[in-house]
Homo-oligomer: A and B are copies of this chain.
Amino acid sequence: MELIEKAISEKGKVLPGNVLKVGSFLNNRIDVCLVNALGKDISEHFKGKGVNLILTIEASGIAIASLTAVHFNCDVIFAKKSKTSNVEGEYYTAPCYSYTHKVQNDLIVPKEYLSKGDRVLIVDDVLARGEAVNACMSLISQAGAECVGVAVAFEKGFQKAGDALRSKGVDVYAGAIVDEMNENKITFRKQ
Residues of chain A at the chain B interface (Cβ within 8 Å): 23-24, 28-33, 35-36, 58-59, 62-63, 65-67, 69-70, 73-78, 80, 110, 112-113
Contacts and interface: CB of A to CB of B under 8 A. Distances in A.
Contacts of A35: 66
30 contacts: A23-B110, A24-B112, A28-B77, A28-B78, A28-B110, A29-B75, A29-B76, A29-B110, A30-B66, A30-B69, A30-B76, A30-B77, A30-B78, A32-B66, A32-B70, A32-B73, A32-B74, A58-B58, A58-B59, A59-B59, A59-B62, A59-B78, A59-B80, A62-B62, A62-B63, A63-B63, A63-B65, A63-B76, A67-B67, A70-B70
A25 to B, nearest CB: 8
Contacts of A76: 29-30, 32, 63
Contacts of A24: 112-113
Contacts of A32: 66, 69-70, 73-76
Contacts of A112: 24
Contacts of A62: 59, 62-63, 66
Chain B CB within 10 A, most for which of A32, A73, A76, A113: A32
Contacts of A73: 32-33
Given A58-B59, A67-B70, A23 B75 contact: no
Nearest to A65: B63
Contact of A70 (B36, B75, B77): B36
Contacts of A70: 32, 36, 67, 70
A26 to B, nearest CB: 11
A39 to B, nearest CB: 9
A73 B112 CA distance: 34
